[in-house]
Every structure is written in structure tokens, then in C-alpha cells.
Structure 1
Amino acid sequence: MTPDELYALLPAVHRRRDAEQGGPLYALLTVVAEQAAVVEADIERLYDNWFIETCDDWVTPYIGDLVGYEILPRIAAALSDDVTRAAGLPAAAVPRRDVADTVVNRRRKGTLALLEDLASAVAGWPARVVEYRRLLCVTQPVRRYSADGADARRRRARGTLVNVRDAGALARLGGPFDALARTVEVPRAGSVRRVGRYGVRSVGLHLWRLRAHAVTRAPAHCLDRDRACYTFNVLAVDTPLFTAPVPEPSSFHIADESNVPEPIGRRALADRLYDYYGPRRSLCVWTGPDPEADVVRLDRIVVADLSDWRFRVGADEVAVDPVLGRLMLPPGTAPAHGVRVTYHHAFSGDFGGGEYPRPEPAADGPAERYRVGPGEDHRSIADAIGRWRAEKRAHEHKAEAVVEITANEVYEDLTDIRLDPGDRLTVRAADGVRPVVRLSGRRDEDRRRVLAITGSASPDGSRATARLVLDGLLVTGGGVRVRGGVGELVVRHCTFVPGWELEAGGTPLAPGAPSLDIADSPVRTEIRHSVLGAVTVAARDGRAPNRLEVYDSVIDATGSEASALGDPDGGEADVVLRARCTTVVGALRPHAVELLENCLLAGEVRVGRLDQGSVRFCWLPRGSRTPPRFHCEPDHSGARAAELRFAALRYGAPDYVRLADDCAEAIRRGGDNGSEPGALHHLFQPQREDNLRTRLAEYTPAGCDPGLIFVT
């Protein structure tokens, strides 16, 4: 109901007298109408919350309780926390799909395909179920040996010797798709450490926790133009290629290699090239800019081992190595326009930039948009920024602008960004795009390649008001330097490559070098869902410390002994730090902290001021100098029980900053809501695993012993 409708309900005499007095009654009804609209919207929302398809995430556990869906006690306790509710735990711990399918799944109890569906619905992990009883060696009955049919042939295949000429079967040995026969595994009676995988009652559920992230029609990096040697990854590092999973045809289908994000082996690619290769499949190669005419045909692709680049490529062939992420053309045939590739790589979560969907924050006001890319008005980022500055000088109201990059290109023209007081500039990648900014030109006084962000001082000497947002960019080849009157710097879903750039083996070119260098600037820096190298902040004489906020991100100095946050000389950084759900590799030396929560601090921690701030639910080395700590490891559980271990700490590895499987449970569940601290806190993997084990025990028939086997 609008204010005019409410006003029309009043008698005419009251409306006339109200008009004579300037309309105070109409103003009051305007406020009443706003509140009535809020109440009406809430009533409509309550009706939507009656149904599992339309309800809010926090309502899902209550609907699940109505149909007998059991919630683990520790998850129920975590759901009572409003902060946890806002962080997305209800959607991860109590999946909407699993609640909706509860009744149907009870009718399917005892089927193998149900276990895969449970893994997808409850934990969100692709899975393959294996009934190990069918892989055991058995003595074949003589009277059935001469029978024909599929069952008879399958029985005759069990218990045979391994064919060493079958390279495909040997490549799958020990994995989830291993079909070779085994003898029965009989562990010690009552063993709790090893129950035995190959047994009559054993069923294994192989789970893939890593996700396959796509890179579509991006430039391949040329290592040797004369020999036409390329890497799929534009950072010139070896990257294993992964399968782009395709949906299973039905709910009764058992997953195969095309349905899970499995690393692509050389033998698998050679045997089933048509399943993996193509513009909309796991990988594809183009030798020119035309997406239709320049695609390399399937019959030209050969699978080879390019570990030493000695493979001799035929005249009309393109060699591909999926294990190393390399490709090779005939010598002397490197195309002038370069080689473009589509491939998939594995990573734990959606942060650091990529083709995953990123929400676009609401603009503070009307912003002019400048699009960069093939077919757009601007071919380079510098051209778009230059045009914005020129138009801003002619039209003072154009102080806010968005430079949007629409293609997976490599941009080497961006050397500096200059901001005037009041400017609000956003440089972002469009959804589904991961552009690369390679710093290859300008160098600073220390001969380092930098992207210089410089703000002009305001004429009246007031505080800096310029604001810059970097969103969805991959910056390599150097660091970002901030100087002058920059009031705010926001880094979202970006990667500033730790160590500036990577060598062929993945080692950083400049270990410990700063990816973000701030000096003589009052900038407030906010980092979200990003991966950065070291951060240095120089002190400003007689001025308040800068403010640094880090959320759901990684600060990687490429070594625990290097300085992850400090001043240029390795001392104390002139910042007040606030960090949540962050992984820091290297020494952390801020002037003061406001809050450190759910963080993994793999390096020395030295905080200057101890009379402010707090540290909660973090892991940090013993002997660290911090403000008061609450429920931190290893202080809470002891050194032996809480030793920090990562699966990988090299940027570019699929398991980057993921906790190792043998890491202590006190760390894996050391967050404030029972999840793991660090940059992967938002995945809620411990809760997913607990929920899945509970559902397996509920839906597995008696006499069956299911087990979880994590593949990646």
C-alpha cells in the first residue's frame, strides 16, 4: 500500500486541513506505508519459508527436522551462532537437496548409486563407489567355466594374472578405476587403524575434494619459438590437466572417469581422445585467433611425453602432454598470432581469480563503464584509463568509472594508475574471464618491475579520498606499489603471484619479494578472496598507522622464514591489522592488530602493541608475541597434537595451502564453528565429512562396511 492510497482513506476534511498546514499528516503516513511494506514483505517471506525449494538457508534445518533429518550435535550448536549463519554454514552442513530427497533416499537404501548421490548432495563432492567384493580373486567353478554370456565372461576375468601389456589397466592401478583382481585382505581382528579395503563386506566411496577450474581460449606461453614449445599455463609452469566432469546420465549410473575431476593421464588421453578433446570439453588447442577455422582437428593431436622436449612432432601434428600441461608444434611452425588453449586445472576453492562467478558489488553512484578486449572500444587497459582521465578533465562528474576486461588476454601495457582526489576507479574482469597483467616494462629505483598506483594530494591538504578497486586480475612479473594520496585500495578475487613470477619447476623467481608495497600513503587496504605475496608497509613519520584488512585470502612470502608482513627492511609494518579466515606463510610483524580470527600463521608472529586487539581460534608458532589469545593452537592442545602440515605450499599446485590429510584434528577443526582455520575455512570440509559419514551409516545395509577414500 502506497502513501497516496493510505491518504485517500482519510476524510476530506482532514486532508484539506493537512494541506493547509504543509502536509505533516501525509509525511507521517509515508513512514507508516514504508513499515507496512516491510511487514508485508516479511509475511510473504514466511510463506516462502514453508517450502524446501524456496526457504532461506537458516530454515532448512527446521524443515529437515520435520521429515526426520538428523543434524549432528556440533553442527546444530554452530548453527545457533548468527555469525556462522551468515558465513554460509547452513547451506554446507544441511544441504537443501539432501533434505528434499530424504524420503526418496530411504526407499533406495542398499543401492550403490545412492552412495554416490549422497556424496554429491550432502558434501558436494563428486564420488565413485566401488564394491570390492567383485574385485576379489575367486576359484572358478568348473561346471560354469564353459558357460557363455556377460556374467560368465566377467567371472572368468576375476582371479586371472595381470596382463603386463595392458598399459591402460596398469595406469589405473591403485586408483578408483582399478579393475585388477586382488586377494582378500584380512587385517588383525578388531583393528581400528586398518579395516582392510579388499574384503567381502568392503565398499569404498572415492571422493574428489578439488574442483576443476576452466581456462577458456587463453594464450599459451611460448617457451621456445624456434622449436614451437608451449605450456598451457600462461605463467610458464607445468600444470597437470584435469577432466571437465560431465553429468551422469541417470541417478542409477556409477561414475566413470568422465564424471569426476580426475587428472588426465597420457594413456587415458590417447585411448579416449574424443572424450577429452574439443572446444567444449576438457582441453582444446587453437593456432590462430578464429575460434572456428583455427581449431586444431582431432586427427592432428598426438599424445606424447614432453618432459625433456625431445619428442619429434610430425609435419601435421600437435603433441600434447596432459601430465605436465605442455604442447609442441613442428619446429619452425609457431603461429604469429600465438597459440590459444582451453584446459581445466584443479584447485580447492573459488578465490584468487578465475572464471568462477564473482558477485559485482553495488556501485556507490553512476559509473562510466569502459570495456577492454577484442571487439570492444579499447584494446588495452591503459587506453581505457587514459580515455577516462581525458573525459574526466572535460566533465568533472565522471570521477567514478569501471574498466571491465572481457577476454582472457595478457596485458603488458599497464604500468601506472594515477588518481586525483575524489576518484573512484574499478579495474575488474568480467564474469567468466581471468585476464593476466604482466609487468614487463616500467622499473622502480630498485630495478623492480612495478605497477605504480599514485594518488595526487588534495589542494586543501585534507585526507585522501581516491579509491581503487582491483577485481579478478592475475598480476605477474612484479609487484604493486602504492604512493601518494590514495585513500582506499580494495583487492578482490585477485592473484599477485608470490615471488613475482614462477620458473619452469614452479619455484618463485624472487622469493620473499613484496607483491604489495605501500609507502608514504594513508591508504586503507582491503583484501578479499585473493592470493598475494609479501606485503610491506613503510612507516610515515608522525602519522597514524595504515589499516590493513584481510579476509578469506592467502599472504604467501614463499617461505616461513621470509617476511610476509613487515616494513621494507624486515622490521615492523606500520599497520593495524584485521584478518579473518586467512593463511599466512611467512613472518607476520604488524604494529598492532585489531582481530586475528580463524587464521593459519605459518611463520614468526611479532605484534608491536600488546594492549589492544585479540587473537582467536588461530594456529601460530610457539613463542609468538601477540595480544591475548583465546582457543589458539598449539597452546590449547599441545605441540605434538597440533603440528601444522600442508599438502602443498607451492603456488600453482592443485593442493595449494590445503591442510594435509594427516594434519592434527585439533587444527582441522580448530575454527570457531568446527571448520578448519585459514583461507579454506569457507568450504566447511570437516562438517561435510561428518555429515557424509552419518548419512552412509544411515543408508548402508547391514553387513556392509563403507569407507571414505579421498582421491584429491
Structure 2
Amino acid sequence: MSFDTQALFVLLPAIHRIRDAEMAQANGLERGPLEELIGVLAEQISVADESLEQLYDDLFIETCAEWVVPYIGDLIGYQSLHNVVAKVASSRAEVAHTIALRRRKGTALVLEQLARDVTGWDARAVEYFQRLNTTQYMNHPRLDNLQSADLRKGEALEWTGSAFETANRTVNVRRIESSGRHNIPNVGLHLWRIQAYPRTLSAAHREGPHRYRINPLGFDMPIYNHPQAEVEITHLADPDNVPWPLSRRRMHHHLERYYGERASVAGTLDNPNPSLQLFVDGVLIERDKVRICNLSDDDVGWANSPPPGGIYAIDPQLGRVALPAEADDPSDVRLKWHEGFSADIGGGEYERGDSLPVPADLTTLVRVPDQHSTLASALVAIAGNGVIEITDNSRYSEIVAINVVDEGRVEIRASNNCRPVLDLGGFSVTGGENSSCIFNGLVISGAPLDIADEADNQLAKLDLIHCTLVPGIELNTDGSSRQAGAASLIVAIHGVDIGIQKCILGAIRCHERSSVRAEDSCIDANNPEAVAYAGIDGESPGAVLSLLACTLIGKVHASEMSLVSNSILLAALSATDSWVVPVRAERKQAGCVRFSWLPFSSIVPARYQCQPDSAEAGLQVTPGFTSLHYGTPAYGQLAGSTPDQIIRGADDESEMGMFHHLYGAQRDTNLRIRLAEYLRVGLRAGIFYES
């Protein structure tokens, strides 16, 4: 039933409505007092009606409010776990599956589904006792239980050592908690921490005539498959259900699984969400014109050029595309592909809606390329006060110079679920009195962000949100930095309040009388012995520094550390270094360093629960990283060999560093608690991270 004002008002007797209209006309009002009263009643009835609808929704686990989930769980005897990972692994899915899991308690299907529900990561359960070499019983031969691997099955050999290995092994008597796997009581739960992030119609980087790199920054990197959801609990995960880098062999043999459209049925996809699609000048290249091959470098260029006949060659392991030699060199090459990374950091096609407020004055919002083809023309249009929103995943190569008016605010941002790349020849910001500038969701390379020391530059505030300022400014084709250690952010004036949230950037040079606050971010000077944070000259003290759950790679010299918490400051001195210590704050009487890792010799304010806690411990308690090479899927991720004092060393027992907000340690703990309830007697489970 509709409870709007007019629907209720027409239910009144006509005489009352006529008198109310006369009173409104006599007093020059749009509505009479009776109609106003009915409006208030209609509003309250709508609130009550909405509450009644929500009460009905709260009867079902799929539609109930989040606060109702534990109460429904209590009805079926569900015991809540540590509730620190609600944003990354809600208990709703586990409660919904509890009855189905209990019916199949102890099976690999249940353990796999349990791992997905509890951790929120993709998972695969492996019963290692089924992968043991055994003596065959002649009345019950097991034809697949071979003592040696079948070398004719090349695709199966790709999975050797992974969760999908089909080869059998001799028994390993070590406990599975001590990395022993192949034994009678052992079940392994393999988890994927790296996720596949979509890149939709992303502009490829032109290497030369008919040759393109898929990554718009122009370096080689693997393409990930788009994981297909498992619709039934009775299905064990296979390689298509988890985020894996695509191999040449697998994509060649199963091209229909990973590449877009069939030529035989126009407009139809085998897979509604393919891992890869190629568009040339806006036209989708059909599957029968695509070949998967090795496009590695040879003496003269790329090996294995595509054969004649309009064939397009793709190398998923290197992320390269070769176009037909007989075709005209196109003006626009774009792809839909997937990139591996650990978290929603640095900009990407993930949800950023909370950080994109709508301006009060919509006339100040201009869109690129919808209304303006370049950022320069859009900056002219807003005249130093407004919002520029980039609505695609193109690559913009230009010079950007921003001048914010007095009391003005300029914001350049990517639309939600967009990831444009700005390859700039210059990047500067100036501002008038009380002016501010915001960058949101951008990937920036080619030039540092420079706030120069000019007479009229009085910029007061700078915010970087979900941005990447490429460490080392630009990348070579192998992914190495062209200007290793170069500053990505240079603030040469005083009084600037700099906020950095969920960003990746290179070294920072900042005036001593400004301030920098970073949260869930990485500041990377490309080497622990390089200078990551200092004054403009790279030696003098930089601005007041605050780090909350950050990873900082390189030496630090700050005027003051107001707060450093749950962070890792990976810094070291070279043999010929002029610095006395790798991390230093000029004023030690102010500020605090807590629940963080930094060299024991550092000169900083009062330390609280920091690691290492002694010079001797510094030799053992050190952070290990899977990769510190920007552009690799595991960039910034702590390795499994990292000591527990760091993995669980934050103030909430999560890991230190930029991925603190993923609560990896709590997910691991929750899964181990839940396994005690669902494992069969005599079985032991181990947790292994595939990525």
C-alpha cells in the first residue's frame, strides 16, 4: 500500500479538503494545515511500514540486518568467532551454510567451504592420504595411483607442488603443522590471498608497430584468470575457481574458458565473465582469430610473430599482444583483463564510493573524456575551483599544472570502479590562501607531484586517496624502476597538511614545517638503503610524520614523529653511509612509536611494544616480504617465514604494515578454531598459502 500524502488526503471527506484548500488560498500557502498534518502522518506511517518489512527480512539469513546474524546463528548452535574481520569475511555466509556443513561434517567438501566462509579467501581442500604411493591390491587396482608422474600429461605437470597436483608421493612422517603433507591423517587447506582485480577496456602500452604490452605502465606482468563461483557445496575447487596466473599451455588448450567471444554464435559468450578480451579500434577480436604463444624477446624483437591471415597473438605470462603484420597499425588497442594483487590499495576497479562525495554545486563537476578530452582543458573549465572526474580507464599523456584559487578546492578523481593512468610530462600544484587539492583513484607515472616553493603558492591541504605515484617515477619493461629512489612527492613550501590514505607512492621530500599523515599505505624508495622520507635536500629533517598501518621502505629523517603505529619501517645503512642511524626524529620529546617494527638503533620518541626489543633480537625478528618489487602481484606482502612478533604484532594482534586492515592473522586463527569443530577424529589439518 502507498502511504504518500495525496493517497491519504483523498480519503478524507470532500468538505474537509475543500475548506483546507480555501484556507491555503486565503493565507497564500501551497498546502493547507490539514494537508500538512496528513503529510507528517504519511511520513511516520512509511517509517513504520519500512520497519515491518525489515522485520520480515530479518527472519531470513540472506536478507537480515548484520546485527541479526549472530542471533539467527544462536538458534542453530553457531558459535561466533573473533569479530574483527567483519568487513572482509562476514559470518553471514558461515551461518547460512552451517546446517549443510554439519550434514557433511569431516569431508573435504565441508572443510573447503568452511575455509572460504571463515577467511573470505578462495580455498581448495586436499586429502593428502589420497596422494600417497601405495602397494596395489590386485582385486582393487587403482589405475591413477602411479608411482611416477606421467610425463605425457604436460598440463598436469604444471600443477606440481600446488594444490592441484595429481602426482603421488612417498609418505612424509612429519606433522602437517610442521610442513609435512603426504601422510595418512593429513588434510591441507590451500588459500589464495592474492585476488584477481578486473581492468576493463584498459589502454595497452604501445611498444612498437603492431606490438603492445597489456599493462598501461609498459612492463611485463602475468594475466590472472577470473575465478568462477562455485554454485554447489558438492564441488571441490578446480583451477578455474581460484585466482591463478594464466599459463600459455592452459590458455592454449582451453581458450574458450578464458577468452571472450565465439565467432560461430554472434554476441554470445562461453563464459559470461571471461578473463581476457582484446579490442582493436573499438572492435572485439573474436576467438578464432586469437592464438596463444610465447612472445619473449629474441635478438631482433619479439619471438613468434603471428602468422598471416589476420591472426592476433597473446602471451598471458608476459602480458604481451602482437597484431597482424599485414594490418594497419591501429590507433587504439584496449583489453579486458585481470591483475593480481592483495588488497584494495593504490586505485583500481573496486568499490570507492565512500571517498567520492558529490559536490554541493554540481556546476563545478566536469567529466573527462565525456565533456573534455584532456585534463588540461578540464582544468581551464573549472578555473581553479571544482571537480574533474575521469570516467574511463584510458592512458592520459600530458602536462598537468593545477592552480587553485583562494579558498578553492580542486579534485581530480577516477569514477567509481575506474582506474585511469596519467603518464605525465610534468605535474605541479599551486594554490591561493586556504586552498586544497585532492587526488583520488589515479595511477600517476612520468613525473613527481611537485608543490614548488613559489612566492604565491599558499596551498594549505593535499589529499591522496587510493592513488599510486609509481615508485621510481617510471618503470622499465622488466618492471624495474628507471629512477630508483627518486621522490614521487615533493612539497617545498611550509604549512601544507598532507593526507595519504590507501596509496602506494615513492619517496617523499617535504618541508620541515608541513605535516604528513599516512594510513594503510606504502612509501617505497625502492631500496632500504635509499632515502624514503626527508627534507627537500634528502638529508635534512622532513615534515612532522604520522604513520598508521603503513609499510615504509628506506631511510627516514623526520622533524617529529607524532604517531607511528602498526607500521613497518624497513631501513638500513650502507657501508659508506653518512647517516648515523637509518630512522631518526629530530624531536624525541613529542610523539610515540608503538606496535611497529623499525631498526633497534633508531632515534625516535618513546617506543611501546615495538620490534625488535633488543639488538640481539634484531638479528632474528626481521620482516620478510614475498616481494618488494612494485608491479608484482605479491608486492608488499609479508612472507610466511616472518616471525609471529610481526605477523601478529599490531595492537589488535593483526600484522604490521600496509595490509594490516586485511586481518590475515585473525582469519588464520578463526579457521584453526573452526577446524577443531569440523575435522574427523584422527585427521589433522594444515593451512598453506598458495599466493
Q: TM-score range by the shorter chain?
A: 0.7 to 0.9
Q: Match of 2:167?
A: 180
Q: Match of 1:303?
A: 292
Whole-angstrom CA distance in 1 between matches of 2:556 and 2:239: 43
Q: Match of 2:477?
A: 504
Does the C-alpha gap of structure 1 residues 347 and 57 become closer, same or farther in structure 2, counting only changes over 3 Å?
Answer: same
Q: Is the partner of 2:499 in helix, strand or coil? A: strand
- Normalising by structure 2, we get a TM-score of 0.83
Displacement after TM superposition at 1:287 (Å): 1.7
Q: Is the partner of 2:645 in helix, strand or coil? A: helix
Identity, % of aligned positions: 36
Q: Match of 1:212?
A: 196
Q: Match of 1:459?
A: none
Residues 277-310 of structure 1: CA deviation (Å, up to 9, x unaligned): 117411111121x2xxx21221222121222222
Q: Which of 125, 128, 132 is 2:121 aligned to?
A: 125
Instruction: Report whether the alignment pairs 1:101 with 2:97.
Output: yes
The amino acid of 2:507's aligned partner reads A
- Normalising by structure 1, we get a TM-score of 0.81
Q: Match of 1:15?
A: none
Instruction: Report whether the alignment pairs 1:342 with 2:315.
Output: no
The amino acid of 2:183's aligned partner reads G
Whether contact under 8 Å (1:512, 1:533) holds in the other structure is: yes
Whole-angstrom CA distance in 1 between matches of 2:587 and 2:542: 11
Whole-angstrom CA distance in 2 between matches of 1:631 and 1:497: 32
Residues 13-33 of structure 1: CA deviation (Å, up to 9, x unaligned): xxxxxxxxxxxxxxxxxxxx9
Does the C-alpha gap of structure 1 residues 467 and 585 become closer, same or farther in structure 2, counting only changes over 3 Å?
Answer: same
Whole-angstrom CA distance in 2 between matches of 1:143 and 1:574: 77
Comparing 262-271 with 572-581, which one deviates more in the overlay?
572-581
Whether contact under 8 Å (2:205, 2:213) holds in the other structure is: yes
The amino acid of 2:381's aligned partner reads R
Q: Is the partner of 1:657 in helix, strand or coil? A: coil
Q: Is the partner of 2:670 in helix, strand or coil? A: helix
Residues 333-380 of structure 1: CA deviation (Å, up to 9, x unaligned): 463313211111110100100111102343573343544345x12111
Displacement after TM superposition at 1:140 (Å): 3.8
Query: What is the 5 A alignment of 1:642-681?
Result: 642-681=621-660
Instruction: Report whether the alignment pairs 1:705 with 2:684.
Output: yes
Whole-angstrom CA distance in 2 between matches of 1:52 and 1:619: 42
Displacement after TM superposition at 1:204 (Å): 1.8
Q: Match of 1:514?
A: 487
Q: Which of 459, 479, 484 is 1:486 aligned to?
A: 459
Q: Match of 1:561?
A: 529
Whole-angstrom CA distance in 1 between matches of 2:632 and 2:181: 29
Q: Match of 1:202?
A: 186
Displacement after TM superposition at 1:387 (Å): 1.2
Whole-angstrom CA distance in 1 between matches of 2:687 and 2:608: 33
Displacement after TM superposition at 1:249 (Å): 2.9
Residues 636-683 of structure 1: CA deviation (Å, up to 9, x unaligned): 792244111111101001111111110001000010000001110100
Q: Match of 1:273?
A: 255
Whether contact under 8 Å (2:177, 2:685) holds in the other structure is: no
Query: What is the 5 A alignment of 1:248-259?
Result: 248-259=230-241
Q: Is the partner of 2:444 in helix, strand or coil? A: strand
Q: Match of 2:218?
A: 236
Displacement after TM superposition at 1:157 (Å): 2.4
Residues 489-541 of structure 1: CA deviation (Å, up to 9, x unaligned): 111000000000111121111011111111125221111011111111134xx
Whole-angstrom CA distance in 2 between matches of 1:325 and 1:695: 40
Q: Is the partner of 2:543 in helix, strand or coil? A: strand
Displacement after TM superposition at 1:703 (Å): 2.5
Whole-angstrom CA distance in 1 between matches of 2:140 and 2:542: 81
Q: Which of 659, 662, 672 is 1:683 aligned to?
A: 662
Does the C-alpha gap of structure 1 residues 687 and 171 become closer, same or farther in structure 2, counting only changes over 3 Å?
Answer: same
Structure 1 vs Structure 2 CA RMSD: 2.8
Does the C-alpha gap of structure 1 residues 50 and 668 become closer, same or farther in structure 2, counting only changes over 3 Å?
Answer: farther
Q: Match of 1:437?
A: 422
Whole-angstrom CA distance in 1 between matches of 2:328 and 2:686: 50
Q: Is the partner of 2:155 in helix, strand or coil? A: helix
Q: Is the partner of 2:241 in helix, strand or coil? A: coil
Instruction: Report whether the alignment pairs 1:627 with 2:596.
Output: no
Query: What is the 5 A alignment of 1:356-505?
Result: 356-359=350-353, 360-362=355-357, 365-374=360-369, 376-389=370-383, 399=385, 401-440=386-425, 450-456=426-432, 464-483=433-452, 484-505=457-478
Q: Which of 152, 156, 163 is 1:165 aligned to?
A: 152
Whole-angstrom CA distance in 1 between matches of 2:371 and 2:669: 52
Q: Match of 2:22?
A: none
Q: Match of 2:313?
A: 319
The amino acid of 1:697's aligned partner reads A
The amino acid of 1:520's aligned partner reads I
Whole-angstrom CA distance in 2 between matches of 1:573 and 1:55: 53
Does the C-alpha gap of structure 1 residues 64 and 641 become closer, same or farther in structure 2, counting only changes over 3 Å?
Answer: farther
Whole-angstrom CA distance in 2 between matches of 1:67 and 1:143: 45
The amino acid of 2:645's aligned partner reads A
Whether contact under 8 Å (1:582, 1:678) holds in the other structure is: yes
Q: Is the partner of 2:284 in helix, strand or coil? A: coil
Q: Which runs of 5+ in 1 are unaligned?
A: 1-32, 80-87, 146-154, 393-398, 441-449, 457-463, 540-544
Whole-angstrom CA distance in 1 between matches of 2:420 and 2:596: 34
Does the C-alpha gap of structure 1 residues 164 and 572 become closer, same or farther in structure 2, counting only changes over 3 Å?
Answer: same
Does the C-alpha gap of structure 1 residues 61 and 602 become closer, same or farther in structure 2, counting only changes over 3 Å?
Answer: farther
Whole-angstrom CA distance in 1 between matches of 2:85 and 2:127: 32
The amino acid of 1:415's aligned partner reads V
Whole-angstrom CA distance in 1 between matches of 2:359 and 2:649: 38
Residues 539-589 of structure 1: CA deviation (Å, up to 9, x unaligned): 4xxxxx112111111111111111111112122344222221111111121
Instruction: Report whether the alignment pairs 1:135 with 2:120.
Output: no
Residues 304-329 of structure 1: CA deviation (Å, up to 9, x unaligned): 12222221320122221111111222
Comparing 688-697 with 488-497, which one deviates more in the overlay?
688-697
Does the C-alpha gap of structure 1 residues 584 and 500 become closer, same or farther in structure 2, counting only changes over 3 Å?
Answer: same
The amino acid of 1:634's aligned partner reads P
Q: Is the partner of 2:350 in helix, strand or coil? A: coil
The amino acid of 1:119's aligned partner reads A
Whole-angstrom CA distance in 1 between matches of 2:54 and 2:545: 40
Q: Is the partner of 2:206 in helix, strand or coil? A: strand
Whether contact under 8 Å (1:159, 1:182) holds in the other structure is: no
The amino acid of 1:300's aligned partner reads K
Does the C-alpha gap of structure 1 residues 612 and 233 become closer, same or farther in structure 2, counting only changes over 3 Å?
Answer: same
Whole-angstrom CA distance in 2 between matches of 1:510 and 1:295: 37
Whole-angstrom CA distance in 1 between matches of 2:52 and 2:593: 42
Comparing 326-335 with 315-324, which one deviates more in the overlay?
326-335
The amino acid of 2:338's aligned partner reads H
Q: Is the partner of 1:606 in helix, strand or coil? A: strand
Q: Is the partner of 1:258 in helix, strand or coil? A: helix
Q: Is the partner of 1:253 in helix, strand or coil? A: coil
Report runs of 4+ in structure 1 exceeding 6 Å deviation: 43-51
Does the C-alpha gap of structure 1 residues 49 and 529 become closer, same or farther in structure 2, counting only changes over 3 Å?
Answer: farther
Whole-angstrom CA distance in 2 between matches of 1:68 and 1:500: 55
Does the C-alpha gap of structure 1 residues 298 and 361 become closer, same or farther in structure 2, counting only changes over 3 Å?
Answer: closer
